[in-house]
Amino acid sequence: MSNIYSILESQGYKPQHKGEWVFINCPFHLEEKPSLGIKQDFFKCFGCGKSGSLIYLLEELGIIEKPEIDVVGNIKEKLLNSVISNLSSLVGIPKDAKIFDREYRRITPNTYRVFNVFTSKFFPDELIFPIYAEDNLRGLVRKPLQGKYKINFYGKYLPYNFANCLSTNLIVVEGVFDALSVWQAGYNNVCSVLGTGNVYNFTRFLRSIKARNVCILFDGDNAGRSAAKKLNEMYSNSYIIDMPEDTDPNSLSNLKEFLQRNIKQ
Ligand SMILES: [Zn+2]
């Protein structure tokens, strides 16, 4: 919990270190000298005696939104009972979230806006892709500018952009940038498995929606091809489109034409 200090400071509080504790003025009673201490995922006020989880405190301070739906509540309950080693495992959309409004990896600012892709100081150097079911937040896909995905699901596994894939035809890609590229090429019914390691979970999703025509569009490398083959064997109503060597949907410059040639209707 080393960054709680800087987060509080950036939100206008004046935290003070005392040994393992970080102290601020208590929001639950009036005081002039800080007597509310935070240690790991826990706080205690030595003035009024109020204590509880760090998540609860951050909600009270207005730094994070209170989750409003049950599925988030369940996860929150779990978090309350566990030690949170890092603020980035918090649930919900931070209040300082800003829609990402640059062109990046061939994805336009408009596409990022449509998908509510955001940045926040809770997740330094990461782009955050929310997973929605109707208007409810079901997960956050966190893509560090360098490195692998981190995913916070609020409940069970769901592919990215699954809400647009509940019809019987869908296109499945590996990553979130691939999904946005395919969407930009005019295909809304695209979802990302969020890494080839989720292929097994993904077949359960396909069965649950009874998908009939699944186009597997994984990367043109060994990992992508072997995951595509595995998925195609596990799920019968699917076919593979083989990407050119060392390309993925996000990097292919003529993606739209490539899809028009290869997608089976
Ligand atoms: Zn107090």
Distance 130 CA to ligand 1 centre (A): 35
- Of 173, 182, 168, 174, nearest to 213 by C-alpha is 168
Distance 178 CA to ligand 1 centre (A): 49
Pairing state between β 169-173 and 136-144: unpaired
Distance 41 CA to ligand 1 centre (A): 17
**CB contact at 8 A, 144 and 150:** yes
The highest-confidence range among 16-30, 40-54, 231-245, by mean pLDDT, is 231-245
pLDDT recorded at residue 65: 62
In angstroms and rounded to an integer, the radius of gyration of the C-alpha atoms of the chain is 22
Distance 42 CA to ligand 1 centre (A): 14
pTM of the model: 0.69
- Of 249, 130, 232, nearest to 186 by C-alpha is 249
Tell me which CATH code domain 4-60 carries: 3.90.580.10
Distance 29 CA to ligand 1 centre (A): 5
pLDDT band of 75, cuts 50, 70, 90: very low
Distance 263 CA to ligand 1 centre (A): 62
Distance 127 CA to ligand 1 centre (A): 36
How large is the angle between the packed helices 176-184 and 255-262, nearest 10 degrees? Answer: 80
Three-state DSSP at 22 gives strand
Q: How far apart are CA 160 and CA 179, in angstroms?
A: 8
Distance 78 CA to ligand 1 centre (A): 25
Convert the pLDDT of each residue in 114-134 to its tens digit: 998 999 887 888 999 988 876
Distance 106 CA to ligand 1 centre (A): 50
Distance 50 CA to ligand 1 centre (A): 6
Inter-residue long-range contacts of 232-236, CB under 8 Å, 24+ positions, other chains counted: 234/199, 234/200, 234/203, 235/203, 235/206, 235/207, 235/211
Q: How far apart are CA 58 and CA 206, in angstroms?
A: 38
The chain-wide mean pLDDT, for the chain, equals 84
pLDDT beyond 90 at 239: yes
**CB contact at 8 A, 58 and 42:** no
**CB contact at 8 A, 18 and 30:** no
pLDDT beyond 90 at 92: no
pLDDT beyond 50 at 260: yes
Distance 122 CA to ligand 1 centre (A): 25
Q: CATH 3.40.1360.10 region(s) of the chain?
A: 162-262
Q: How far apart are CA 112 and CA 143, in angstroms?
A: 13
Give 210's Cβ-side CA count (13 Å radius). 0
Q: CATH 3.90.580.10 region(s) of the chain?
A: 4-60
Distance 250 CA to ligand 1 centre (A): 52
Distance 60 CA to ligand 1 centre (A): 12
Pick the CATH number of 162-262 from 3.30.450.20, 3.90.1150.10, 3.30.70.980, 3.40.1360.10: 3.40.1360.10
pLDDT band of 45, cuts 50, 70, 90: very high
